[in-house]
Amino acid sequence: MIEGQEVRRQAGRLRYAMAGGGAGAFIGDVHRKSIAMDGAAEIVAGCFSRSFQNTLSTGASLGIARDRLYASPEEMIRAEAGRPDRIDFVAVVTPNNSHYPISRLALENGFHVVCEKPMTTSGRDAEDLGRLAAAKDLFFCVAYAYSGYPMVKHVREMVSRGELGAIRFISAEYPQDWLATPLEKTGQKQAAWRADPDFAGISNCVGDIGSHIENVVSRITGFEIESLLARLDRFGAGRVLDDNASIMVNYKGGARGLFWSSQIAVGHDNGLRVRIYGSKASVEWLQECPNQLRISYVDKPTEMVSRGRDRLHPRAQAFSRLPSGHPEGYFECFANLYSTFLGALGKRNSGEPLSADDLDFPNAGDGIRGVRFIETCVKSSKNGAVWIDF
């Protein structure tokens, strides 16, 4: 297939503000570039750092007016709420501990929210945000961006159509090696806050990448966890939070799962891999090779499906952006998440009805479940790696 997929663009650009994402941060720039990819929204305000000078320099580099650069997220949200040209949504890309207060204030002031994962550092706070978003009738998107990959959407459709048969077992892993050494002790900003419970919360490895496993598997299968057993390890000297985790899962309906997440797995970069085994077929997808999907069958040869060359199920095909042989990756999966969220928001603003496809982005319910997954894993491990009902 030579032609690339035509990407849908929303008429009338939406406006957003960002909390976090200044110089020295990583994920904020990913959000900004991914939003800009389809031209559906523009950043017009921000508080990018606890350092106001950082905010000013970041804002200047983005061409944001000086009067819309703020010293704190609280000042930003309250000031933007009173403007006639107020923003449509707030993107929250700060460390975990500030997700809740910033998101809550944004909702209270009538703004839709896109929040980095985990949604909050406690299940109580996550449920509070979910209730508030529902009461205010506002969208709350949690940035589980891997759900935006076309192949993830294709596998979900395969499962829902019964093409794999009855799902029996799920094996998923997410190994990295960036914390194989005590990087947090060198002043590296990303490592420092993730290893600090005051900023990261009760978990590092499960909270940071194990929660991605739970979300991808859940979105593909629709399965609900019945119980789990987790062992969280701390291999780095002096670390108080986990850097490796082994998790066994029982799903309602009888399927079983085995998850492994690690930040000390030397030789691995960002190896999110999902294998789903059914009675008719199995699939294997690797985030580092996101454009290919391996499908093995009971009664015919194994095949390799290639995004861009091979026709995917319609929903997945709609998010395939480039012709075959032109790799799509991390920025595109984020852009696909935002394409859905911004499309729904644009329709909402213009009074158009919304379909299930319009709302196909990770929402507050996904965020709440992700926080509960983290809490349950920590509880299981602290009690001696025992089975805990979910």
pLDDT of residue 329: 96
In this predicted model, what pLDDT tens digit does every residue of 97-146 receive, in sequence order?
Answer: 999 999 999 999 999 999 999 999 999 999 999 999 999 999 999 999 99
249 has pLDDT over 90: yes
Confidence of residue 24 (pLDDT cuts 50, 70, 90): confident
In this model, does residue 363 exceed pLDDT 50? yes
Same domain, 173 and 288: yes
Torsional sign, CA 82, 132, 209, 345: negative
If asked whether residues 117 and 247 sit together in one domain, one would say no
pLDDT at res. 5: 46
CA separation for the pair 22, 182 (Å, rounded)? 24
106 and 69 co-located in one domain: yes
Residue 227 has pLDDT above 80, yes or no: yes
Q: Write the pLDDT tens digit of every residue in 172-212.
A: 999 999 999 999 999 999 999 999 999 999 999 999 999 99
Distance CA(257)–CA(228), nearest Å, equals 9
- What is the rounded average pLDDT of the residues 327-342? 97
Q: How many CB atoms lie within 10 A of CB 2?
A: 8
Please indicate, yes or no, if residue 334 is contained in any of the structural domains: no
* Phi-psi region at 293: left, alpha or beta (left = phi > 0; alpha = psi -120 to 50): beta
**Position 3 in a domain:** no
Are 180 and 218 contained in the same domain? yes
Residues 80 and 179 occupy one common structural domain: no
Nearest to 4 by CA among 147, 150, 144: 150
Establish if 234 belongs to a structural domain.
yes
pLDDT tier for residue 12 given thresholds of 50, 70 and 90? confident
**Residue 292: inside a domain:** yes
Q: Prior bond to 314 cis, omega within 30?
A: no
Summarize pLDDT for 302-321 with one digit per residue, the tens: 999 999 999 999 999 999 99
How confident is the model over 252-258, as a mean pLDDT?
A: 97
- Domain range enclosing 99: 14-145+349-362
Q: Is there a single domain that holds both residue 117 and residue 153?
A: no
pLDDT of residue 33: 97
Q: Is 300 among the domain residues? A: yes
Residue 205 is encoded by which pair of tokens?
Answer: 């490895």
223 falls within a domain: yes
Q: What is the pLDDT of residue 7?
A: 41
Asked whether the predicted pLDDT for residue 233 surpasses 70, the reply is: yes
* φ, ψ dihedrals at 213, nearest 5°: -60, -50
Q: How many domains does the chain have?
A: 2
Residue 67's domain is classified under what CATH number?
Answer: 3.40.50.720
Residue 58 has pLDDT above 50, yes or no: yes
Answer yes or no: are the C-beta atoms of 229 and 380 closer than 8 Å.
Answer: yes
Query: pLDDT digit string (tens) for 139-179?
Result: 999 999 999 999 999 999 999 999 999 999 999 999 999 99
Side chain identity at residue 221, one-letter code: T
Q: What is the pLDDT of residues 78-97, one digit of tens each?
A: 999 999 999 999 999 999 99
Is the pLDDT assigned to residue 298 strictly greater than 50? yes
The residue-averaged pLDDT of 15-40 equals 96
pLDDT score, position 169: 98
* 139 and 153 part of one domain: no
Angle at 342 between CA 134 and CA 117, to 5 degrees: 65
The reply to whether 140 and 157 lie within a common domain is: no
Same-domain check for residues 161 and 110 = no
Mean pLDDT, the chain, rounded, equals 96
Do 156 and 114 fall within a single domain?
no
Average pLDDT over residues 326-348: 97
The answer on 135 and 266 residing in a single domain is no
- What percent of the chain lies above the pLDDT cut of 70? 97
| 244-266: average pLDDT | 98
Same-domain status, 25 and 136: yes
The answer to whether position 9 is within a domain reads no
User: Residue 67 — pLDDT band, cuts 50, 70, 90?
Assistant: very high
Q: Are 147 and 215 in contact (CB under 8 A)?
A: yes
What is d(CA 115, CA 219) in angstroms, rounded to the nearest whole number? 18
Q: Which of 68, 22, 23, 19 is nearest to 47 (CA)?
A: 19
| pTM for the full predicted model | 0.94
The answer to the question of residue 22 being in a domain is yes
CATH number of the domain that 176 lies in? 3.30.360.10
Calpha distance 188→205 (Å, rounded): 17
Burial class for 269, CB neighbours closer than 10 Å (0-12, 13-18, 19+): exposed
